[in-house]
Structure formats: structure tokens, C-alpha cells
Amino acid sequence: MLSQHLLVLQVVVPLLSAPLCALLPLASPGKYFSNKLAWLIATVASLISFVISILLAIEVSKHGYISYELGGWTPPWGIEYRIDHLSAYVLLIVSGIASITMLAAQKSIEKEIAHEKISLFYSAFLLCLTGLLGIVATGDAFNIFVFLEISSLSSYVLIALGNNRKALTASYQYLIMGTIGATFILIGVGLLYMLTGTLNLVDLQQKIPELLDSRALHAAFAFFTVGISLKLALLPLHLWLPNAYAYAPSMITVFLSATATKVSLYVLFRFFFGLFSNEVTFGEFHLDKILLPLSILAILIASAVAIFQDNIKRMFAYSSVAQIGYMTLGIGLATKSGSVAGMLHLFNHAIIKGGIFLAMACIVIRTNSVQLSNFAGLGKRMPWTMAALLLLGLGLIGVPFTAGFISKWYLLIAALDQRSWLAAAVIVGGSLLAIIYVWKVIEYAYLKTSSKTIDSDTASTKEAPLQMLIPLWLLVAASIYFGFETSFSFGFANTAINALFK
Amino acid sequence: MQSLLQHFELSVAIPLLAVLLILLFRNQPSLREASSLSIALVLFIFTTQFIGSEQLGVTHTLFSITPGLSLAFHIEPLGLMFALLASGLWIVTTIYSIGYMRGNKEKNQTRFYLFFALSIAATMGIAFAANLVTLFVFYEALTLCTFPLVTHKQNADAKTGGRIYLGILLGTSILFFLTAIVVTWLQAGSLDFIPGGIFDGKIGKTGAVILFTLFMFGIGKAALMPFHRWLPAAMVAPTPVSALLHAVAVVKAGVFSVLKISVYIFGIDVLADQNAAQWILWIAIATMLVASIIALSKDNFKARLAYSTVSQLSYIVIGAALANPIAALGGAMHIVTHAFGKITLFFCAGAVYTATKRTQISQLNGLGKQMPFTFSAYLIAAISIIGLPPLVGSWSKWFLIDGSLNVDNYIVLLAFVLSTLLNCAYLLPIALRAFFKAPDNEEAGQNIKIQEAPLACVIPLCFTALATFLMFFYIQPIYDFLAPAFLP
Amino acid sequence: MIADFYNYWVAIILMMIGFYIVISDANLIKKMIGITIFQTSVFILFISMSKVEGGTAPILIDEVTLYSNPLPHVLILTAIVVGVATTALGLAIIARIYREYGTVDENIIHAKDEEEYEDSDEDLS
């Protein structure tokens, strides 16, 4: 019985756990106990979501897609939840990263967020998780907007909880830009509804080919492009991302960097290849002519800016903007193999970036600072954390035996297959820029000894707590595992794109 | 047990055993060094059993990373020669390192031996790679494993040197090498090393030239100008590192890859037909001569030897670029002869530093009296590099010149002659200074007793110098060993 | 033409006004107002398209057969709730910003952040 409703449970489990976490302070004996309980609930809910997404992925690989009618109403009148290979892939990432984040979160959150707000924090986190899972799980266009806003609003809250006052302005800026983006998507959905009378994605897909002459359709496409690009942080609409990632609580950066933009990329795939087919998107609307140049600029400019950052969280945030550029570069090549490469990079980058920010969280919890100068000699004082950062940094560069290499390999093949020399040059050039900014940190950690006077604080810096190290090394292990064993990461993405493309 | 021993890819795993043991014994220096030495011996003996075995030509695929990309190993003459060279000289260098590291009271010796072993593991992987992907994976691994060795001293110089080292090597490999591999994959549909090449007519003339050039620049370890700067920059490392890695493992991995790609990806005949190596030939000639001229200007002992290496590596690249089987064979032979010669020279430089703390050539006046073994070995090795009989270096030079005559390339011939003269000019004066010049006045007043370097340093350098002499007479087995790869 | 599609014109004009306020005004509260106007224009766009000529409010009565389309109404109800939540959240953040910075002017806030960056080692605590 439960298995019939598995699909909707994917969204419902975190949704219902959220108020549970919020109401706990009212019910529990002491405030410290309620915080631990809130963490426990959030972790269990994330883990259950992860298990559900694994089960769903297994189901999907057997049947091709799963459909669930909400309230028993048949689509297109009712809202349908629909999972195919593409959705299953992204669901796994989101719930997986959420689980790892929650497993590692407790100590970091206790340190960075005021005690009274901790259970509210976990509640907001679960709402964010609900929103992200909902975006991926649903098969209804307006539902995507609703869940998008749920996840966005909760992320604004989460970011604003950072303990630097800049977190507030960062959150506000994200709010403004995110709301504009979401509203643009809403306009697009509205225009599509006006043209077709339906909101169901499958139904829309069938009705759009007849409407290609309509100017409203073109307008809808344009609104979607801008709205999705805003949420995706595609240059030049990326301005919210560096500050949001830099000043958010450390664990939130871990979570958002690995999920929020990935889900936005999913929305891009779903709308531009699921709704408007790839022939329409590339043939009629020439999306590749927009995506390709912007991606190239994103990779080059964002990597270059990253090199000059002193705040290392901000540096990796700009790195994320560049990596998103890689994903859209794959799509912008307008071929199946390019999109598969982009999808693959979505998966690999989520693991790598999540891990990097988790390592940053470990460093924050022990040293209270993310300035470059703080890294001096850290290789000796926090060996496990820095070793993890080194391996993940190598993954970011794209050294063989890491997941990053596999993505770069497929991106290069896709680019060179199209004789797109500039794209290929940028793909490898971006790696070189990545070497510069990653190696800055590594050099400081391993080659410089602490030049500031050794006060008792610095000298006694211990290794990060085990509770954070274990999830960190799980991610490191995953990034290396997927550098060898790509049958899932590549195979699944391949099936997903093949099912999506005509 | 028999079948386990057939797995030559174990040679990648054996040095990893050393890593474990070194970690285990990190607080007991003697046990630590003993384990490093014994594993080196095991590796060498293990590798020797494959000489002439039926394994030649067999490919063992470890696993498939992704459709079309797999990690696979095979044995063929070039690779086996390289593996034997690296593992054999690992033994010699470990003995030397014991002397040097203890003599100079260097810090962080465990880290040194550990990454040394890892680097050898990576080198074995390169030697036995059966396709371009495996080669690339271990090539990058070698760069990364040698970085802690290069930056061993951890001071500002080490940091700068390390940056140049990593920047150039990773930069060229990602920018050019990876791109070249992907283009090869798209054009030829395969990445395997197959005798005679894999293109089978699928690549046109311009394509071949560009691709070959991309490959050669991509293999930054072969130190073709202008990507040679990493080699002098890496001299900030302790001398044992310079000796093995830059006279044997790292640079030889570079030129080995050059030869492997020329013979098994393009095919010597294809290279000749398409004239694919024309640009590289010129660049290699220029590198050979310019590096020698720069070497002349260097007073720092190791810097001069570094530029000498840059120049000598171009000999091998020219051997490949001449697109003639004899020249390529000469190039392969040069890998061996130059290795023994250069490692001796570096050992001598390190011995001098250990005994006297002197690094500049101008300070070496008259040292020959106090350090007779060191400088005699130096002289022998220098003559081998110059290419005079009865030392083995003359044979590889002979074959290279023969190859250039085969293709009527008199410019290359002239360049070889010029280079030989330059070699004399920058190598011999050191020996002459040591033996024939009187010591500087400043020591006369001081009571520093200069002795020969520690025994653990002197024995290896005498051994390798002697080897250059002995191998001269046993060149035929080496020729017969390498011939199947080039003259089928 | 304008007369026939006046609802779209209204929506677009409001949208542009709202958008302009968001981009150009330095006062954070006014930006929120701009966002609200922006979102409201979209609501008007949706709702106005749901009107069926001659149709009545979409509440089931026996005698009536022509109703306006209820679906956009439902969608916009949801969107209004989202808008309310956004506004509430935005104002809450502005209130906190005011407490921390003493101003709601974006330019002054920027200037204060620049000062702070030059003065000290940027720190998370």
C-alpha cells in the first residue's frame, strides 16, 4: 500500500516533518533537548527521502516512468506527479546531499545559529527540501512554480540566518532576484496556459508543436529563458550567488550549492526539452546561440574573478558559477552528447561542490574564519579536512580518477565532435583557471607555516569533529568512485536524455 | 602463484606496498629505509622476469571506466625497458638518498620516501599502459605525486618552483594532451596502442601535423621549448629527487610517451608519409641547441645539468620526429644511456653539496683531489653524454645520426654535431676545474677538511658510471630487445 | 486594438512600473513595493484571461451554464499567497537590516560594507 504512494511520499515526508520541527520548542522539556530532537527529525526525514528516491530510481529503470495522480483526479484535469529517468537522477542528488548535510549539520548549526532559532532552522530546511523535491517530482507546470517558490522562500530564510550581517543583504538580494525569476516563470506558464488550456507537462508537450507560429509562444519561451537563467545563476544573472553562498550558514551553503542550481538546471531540461522539444528549442528558438556564448563567458569570467577572492567561500561560489557554465555549455552544443555531458556534470559537480563546502564548514567550525590567510599551515593542524579539500579540489580541476575528469572528458568529446574549437579550448582553459584558484588554497595550507603569532587559539586548532569528517569523506569517496565507475552516473544520464530528446 | 606472477600490472601495486611499510615504520628510520630498498629490489626482480616472456603483447584490462575508456596494461619492448630502467634506478637512488638525506640532516624524510614510492608506482603505470587513457591517468598521477617531492623544502623558493612545475605540467597536459587524446578518440575510434598506429588512413596531412604537435606540446615532461621552464624550476628539490625524477622517471616518462605515441598511435611509417612531425622537428632542434647555450651560461651546478637534460631530451624527440625506425630506436636507446649518464652527474652534484655545501661551479676548483671518486665518475658520465666511445652514450648517438642520414636530413646531422661540441663545452670544464685547477685561496686560511661524500652516496654514482662503461660492450642485447618495436 | 486588449496593456504597464521600481530605487522598502506591483501585474494578466465573455463568477448555480474559467483564479490565489509570504519575508529581512545597519538605503549599506571590508579582516563571527 505504501509503495503505491511512494512518489507522493517523496514530497510529503519532508513536508510533514517541517511543522513537527517547528512545534517542538513548545512541547519539549529543555531548549537544548528540543534542538537535538529537531536535528534528529530533519536527519531521519532526509534519510527517508533518500531511501524513497533510491526506490523510485529502481522503479523508473524498470518501467521508464512512474505517474501518480494527486487526489485520484486524472490528468490533465488533476495534478500529476511524474517521474522519469531525468527526475529520478536529480531526486537522488537532492535527497542524497540533504542526508549528508543533515548528518554533518548538528555541531555546525549549534555554533552558527542562535539557540532559540535552531528548531525553526531545521523546519525551514525541511521546507526547502520539500520544495526542491517537489519541483523535480511534479508533472504540472504551475506546480513547478509553487514548489519553486516554496524552496526559494525557505532558502531566503535559511541564508538570512547566517551570523554575519551581510547575510541579510545577501538574502534580500537573492529574494529580489529570485522573485523576479520565479515571476517570469509564472508569466511563461500563464502564457502557455492561455495558448493551450492545460498545465500538465505531457499534455503541453503534445499541444505545442501546432502553436509554433504564435507570438505568445515566443514570448513564453523568452520569459522562461530569463526566469530559469536567474534561478540557475547563469552569467550575467548570477549576481545573487556569490554573496548568498559566502554568508549563509556553512551547512546551508553545502546544501544549496549542491542542489538549488541543479534543480534549476533540471527545470531548464524539463521545459526546454520536455515541453518544447529539442528541435523546437534549438531549431526554432536558437537557444544554443544564447547559451553557448554566455556559458563561455561564465566559465572564463567567473573563474578569473574567483582567483582574486580572499574569502574562500566566495571563491568557491564563483567557481560554482563557472561550473554551471560548464553544464550549460554542454547544453549549448545542441547535441544529445552535449546535454548528456551537461547532465553528468550536474551529478558530479553536486558531489564535489557539496564536499568542498562541507570541508569549508569544518574549517569554519574550528577556526571561525574563511579568509585565505587563515589557511596558513592548516595542512598540519587539520590534516583530514585539508586532504579532503585537496582531493575534491583535484576533482574540480578535472584530474583523472575523479568524477570531474569524467564530466570534462564527455564535454570535450561533445565539443570536439561538433568541431566547436572555442568551446573545447574554454573547457580545458577553465580547468587551468581552476588549478590557479584551488592551488592558492592548497599552497597556503601545506607550504606556508603560520606566520601570525601563535596564540593559544591557533596552536590548539584541532581536527574537525568526527560527525562532520565522516560525511565529508563519504563525499570524497563518492567523487573518486564516480571517477571510476560511471555506469550509473553516465548510463542513467544517457538514458534520461535519450528519452527526452527527439 | 604462477598466474599471479603473470600479472605485470602488479608492478604498479608493488611500490604501494612500500608506501604502507614506510608509513608503518615512519618513526624508525632504518626500518623505513630498509623497507623502501627491499621493495625496490622486489620490484626490479619482478619486472626482470618478463624479459622474453610470452606475456609480450598481451593486454590485461583492469576495468572499464566508461564506454570506450578503460584502464588496461600491456607489455611491449619500450615499456618493459622503461620499467626496468625506473625500477633498477630506484634501487640505486634509494641507497643514494639514504646517504644524502642523512648526510644533510633533511627533515620530513618519511614524506620523501613515501611520495618517492608513489611516484615509482605512477611510473610503472605509465610504462605498462595499454592505451592513451591509462597513460594519461598515470601521467597526471606522476605530476601530482612528485609535487610534494619538488616542494620538499617548503620554503618560498620551493613554493615558486612548485608553482612553475605544476603550472606548466598540468597546464600543458590538460590544455594540449587531453585535447589531443579526445581528437584521437573522435578520429580513430580507439585509444589503444597498436603496432603500426591506429589511424589507418583516417587522418589527413594537416590534421596529422596539428595532432602530433598537440601531443608533443601536451607532453610537457619532454621539456620541449617553450614549455621547458619546469625543469630548471624543479631544481629546488633535494638532489635525489632531481636525480631519479628528472634524470629518469619524470622526464623519461615524457619522452617515453613521445616514442610510444609516435610508434603505437601514429606509426613510424605514417609519420613519415604524412610528414606529421615537421614542425616538432624544428622545435626540437631549436630546443636542443638553445638549451645547450643556456647551460653554458649557468654557474649553478644543478641548473647547468637541468638545461643539459632539456637539450638531451630533444635528442629523443628528434629521434621520434625523424620518422625513421633507426632514429626512433636510437631515441629509445638514448633513454637508457642518458638515464645512466645523467643520474651519475646529478649524484655527483649532490655528493659535492653534501660534502662541501657548495652549489656553484666556480666553487669547485681543485675538489678533484679531495673527492676523486665523485669527479672521476663525473668525468666518465660526462663523456658518455658527449657520446664518445668506449661509453654507451656513443651508441645511442650513433643510431640517431644513422637515422638522420637515412632520411638525408643533413640539418639534423649538423645540429647533432654542434650539440656534441656544446656538450663538451659545458660538461668538461667542471671536471677540468676539479682536477686541474688549484683550490681557491679562501679555503687556505680555513681549516675545513673536505672529504669524499658519504659512502652511501659514492657507491651508487660509481655504479652508474661503471654501468655506462660496461653497457658499451653489451649493446647488442639492448638492441635486440628494442628492435621488435621499431623494426618489425 | 488597444481597446480590445486593454487588460494586457494594464498588466504590461504595471509590470514595467514594478520592475523599474525594483531596479532603480535604492530604498529597500520601495523595492518590495516594486516587487509587489510586479507580481500583481502578473495576477491581473492571469485573471483577466480567465474572463469568459457573458460568463458569470465560477460558482455553481443551477440556471447558469456559462462560467468564467475558475482555474486561473485558483492559480492566482496560490500565487497571491506566495506573494504575501514573499512580502512578509522581505519586510522581515528589511527590519533586521535596519537594526543592523541603521538604514534601508541600499547605497549607504553598500558603503558601510565597503568600509568594514577595508578596516578589518573579514570574519564570519
Report residue A432 as a C-alpha cell: 587551468
pLDDT of B210-261, one tens digit each?
Answer: 888 999 999 989 888 889 989 888 888 888 888 877 777 899 999 999 999 9
Burial (0-12, 13-18, 19+ Cβ within 10 Å), A65: middle
Q: What is the mean pLDDT of residues A89-103?
A: 95
Burial (0-12, 13-18, 19+ Cβ within 10 Å), B182: buried
Residues 6+ apart with CB under 8 A from C88: none
Tell me what percent of the residues of chain B surpass a pLDDT of 90. 19
The SS3 call for residue A100 is helix
* Cβ(A242)–Cβ(A349) below 8 Å: no
* Cβ(A175)–Cβ(A156) below 8 Å: yes
Output A227 or A380, whichever has higher pLDDT: A227
The SS3 call for residue B63 is strand
The SS3 call for residue A66 is strand
In B3-58 the beta strands, taken as DSSP E runs, fall at none
Residue C60 lies inside a defined structural domain of this protein: no
H helices of B298-360, where?
301-321, 325-356
Q: Residue C95 is part of a domain; what is its CATH number?
A: 1.10.287.3510
The SS3 call for residue B392 is coil
- The rounded distance, in Å, linking the Cα atoms of A381 and A454 is 12
Q: How would you classify residue B388: left for phi > 0, otherwise alpha for psi between -120 and 50, otherwise beta?
A: beta
Chains touching B (at least 3 CB pairs under 8 A) are A
What is the distance in angstroms between the CA of the first residue and the CA of the last residue of chain B?
Answer: 33
- The rounded distance, in Å, linking the Cα atoms of A359 and A167 is 20
Residues 6+ apart with CB under 8 A from B356: B363, B367, B448, B450
C94 contacts in A (CB within 8 Å)? 172
Residue C125 lies inside a defined structural domain of this protein: no
Identify the H or E element spanning B61: strand B59-66
Rounded to an integer, what is the distance from CA B433 to the centroid of its chain? 28
Number of domains in chain C: 1
The tally of CA atoms less than 13 A away on the side-chain side of residue B27 is 0
The answer, yes or no, to whether the previous bond of B148 is cis (omega within 30 of 0) is: no
pLDDT of A122-146, one tens digit each?
Answer: 999 999 999 999 999 999 999 999 9
- The rounded distance, in Å, linking the Cα atoms of A126 and A106 is 15
Inter-chain CB pairs, A–B, below 8 Å:
72
Give the closest residue to B432 by CA, choosing from B469, B379, B358, B396.
B379
Residue B311 scores a pLDDT above 60 = yes
Q: What pLDDT is recorded for position B408? A: 84
- The rounded distance, in Å, linking the Cα atoms of B390 and B475 is 11
- A 10 A CB-CB count for C54 gives 7
C104 contacts in A (CB within 8 Å)? none
Residue C107 to residues A243, A381, B154, C95: CA-CA distances in angstroms?
A: 16, 41, 45, 17
Residues 418-457 of A with CB under 8 A from B: 424, 428-429, 431-432, 435, 439, 443, 446-449
Interface test with A, best of B174, B185, B230 (most A CBs within 10 A): B174
- The rounded distance, in Å, linking the Cα atoms of A258 and A255 is 6
Output A35 or A407, whichever has higher pLDDT: A407
- The rounded distance, in Å, linking the Cα atoms of B85 and B193 is 21
The pLDDT-based confidence of A453 (bands split at 50, 70, 90) is very low
Q: ipTM score here?
A: 0.91
**Counting runs of H as helices and runs of E as strands, what totals does chain C give?**
4, 0
* Cβ(A194)–Cβ(C72) below 8 Å: no
Nearest CA-CA distance, residue A61 and chain C, Å = 34
The pLDDT-based confidence of B54 (bands split at 50, 70, 90) is low
C82 touches chain A (CB under 8 A): yes
The answer, yes or no, to whether the previous bond of B389 is cis (omega within 30 of 0) is: no
Per the CB < 8 Å rule, is B178 touching A447? no
The pLDDT-based confidence of C124 (bands split at 50, 70, 90) is very low
Beta bridge partners of A299: none
- The rounded distance, in Å, linking the Cα atoms of B140 and B170 is 7
- The rounded distance, in Å, linking the Cα atoms of B93 and B86 is 10
Interface test with B, best of A435, A441, A449, A490 (most B CBs within 10 A): A435
Instruction: Return the residue of A nearest to C23 by Cα.
Output: A176
Beta bridge partners of B69: B66
Per the CB < 8 Å rule, is B140 touching A399? yes
Report residue A436 as a C-alpha cell: 590557479
SS3 letters for A300-317?
A: HHHHHHHHCCCEHHHHHH
Of the partner residues C46, C79, C122, the one whose CB lies closest to the CB of residue A371: C122
Write down the mean pLDDT value for chain A: 89
Residue C83 lies inside a defined structural domain of this protein: yes
In the numeric block, the cell 536558437 is attached to: A286
For residue C106, give its domain range: 6-52+65-119
Instruction: Return the residue of A nearest to B71 by Cα.
Output: A484
Per the CB < 8 Å rule, is A484 touching B63? yes
Q: What is the pTM of this model?
A: 0.90
Residue A282 scores a pLDDT above 90 = no
Q: How would you classify residue B224: left for phi > 0, otherwise alpha for psi between -120 and 50, otherwise beta?
A: beta
The SS3 call for residue B62 is strand
- Least confident range of A91-100, A282-291, C37-46: A282-291
A146 contacts in C (CB within 8 Å)? 78, 82
B66 contacts in A (CB within 8 Å)? 406, 409-410, 486-487, 490
* Cβ(A250)–Cβ(A355) below 8 Å: no
- The rounded distance, in Å, linking the Cα atoms of B315 and B399 is 11
Identify the H or E element spanning A265: helix A250-269
* Cβ(C66)–Cβ(C51) below 8 Å: no
Residue A182 scores a pLDDT above 90 = yes
In the numeric block, the cell 667542471 is attached to: B430
Interface test with A, best of B61, B63, B64, B66 (most A CBs within 10 A): B66
Rg of chain B taking only CA atoms, in angstroms: 21
A311 touches chain C (CB under 8 A): yes
- The rounded distance, in Å, linking the Cα atoms of B302 and B352 is 11
DSSP A30-66: SHHHHHHHHHHHHHHHHHHHHHHHHHHHHHHHHHSEE
Nearest CA-CA distance, residue C113 and chain A, Å = 8
- The rounded distance, in Å, linking the Cα atoms of C27 and B301 is 68
- The rounded distance, in Å, linking the Cα atoms of A468 and A37 is 18
Residue C36 scores a pLDDT above 90 = yes
Q: Do chains C and A touch (3 or more CB pairs under 8 A)?
A: yes
Q: What's at A135, amino acid-wise?
A: I
Q: What is the DSSP letter of B76?
A: -
Give the closest residue to B135 by CA, choosing from B153, B151, B123.
B123
pLDDT of B407-427, one tens digit each?
Answer: 888 888 899 999 999 999 998
Q: What pLDDT is recorded for position C27? A: 93
In the numeric block, the cell 618552483 is attached to: B161
In the numeric block, the cell 511543522 is attached to: A19
Q: What pLDDT is recorded for position A30? A: 62
Of the partner residues A149, A168, A194, the one whose CB lies closest to the CB of residue C93: A168
Per the CB < 8 Å rule, is B163 touching A443? yes
Tell me what percent of the residues of chain C surpass a pLDDT of 90. 48
A488 touches chain B (CB under 8 A): no
The pLDDT-based confidence of B25 (bands split at 50, 70, 90) is confident
Q: What is the mean pLDDT of residues B161-179?
A: 91
Residues 336-355 of A with CB under 8 A from C: none
Residue B451 scores a pLDDT above 80 = no
A347 contacts in B (CB within 8 Å)? none
The pLDDT-based confidence of B443 (bands split at 50, 70, 90) is low
C65 touches chain A (CB under 8 A): no
Residue B444 scores a pLDDT above 60 = no
pLDDT of C43-62, one tens digit each?
Answer: 999 888 888 888 888 888 88
Residues 6+ apart with CB under 8 A from A248: A158, A159, A161, A162, A167, A170, A171, A256
Report residue B100 as a C-alpha cell: 644524502
Burial (0-12, 13-18, 19+ Cβ within 10 Å), B27: exposed
The tally of CA atoms less than 13 A away on the side-chain side of residue A72 is 0
The answer, yes or no, to whether the previous bond of C70 is cis (omega within 30 of 0) is: no
Residue A408 scores a pLDDT above 50 = yes
What is the distance in angstroms between the CA of the first residue and the CA of the last residue of chain C?
Answer: 60
The pLDDT-based confidence of C125 (bands split at 50, 70, 90) is very low
Residue C104 scores a pLDDT above 80 = yes
- The rounded distance, in Å, linking the Cα atoms of B74 and B129 is 6
- The rounded distance, in Å, linking the Cα atoms of A150 and A158 is 12
Rg of chain C taking only CA atoms, in angstroms: 21
* Cβ(B221)–Cβ(B254) below 8 Å: yes
Burial readout B206-217 (b: 16 or more C-beta within 10 A, e: otherwise) = eebbbbbbbbbb
Per the CB < 8 Å rule, is C122 touching A186? no
Give the closest residue to B125 by CA, choosing from B314, B260, B265, B325.
B260
Beta bridge partners of B300: B360
Residue A453 to residues A74, A376, A456, A458, B153: CA-CA distances in angstroms?
A: 70, 12, 9, 9, 22
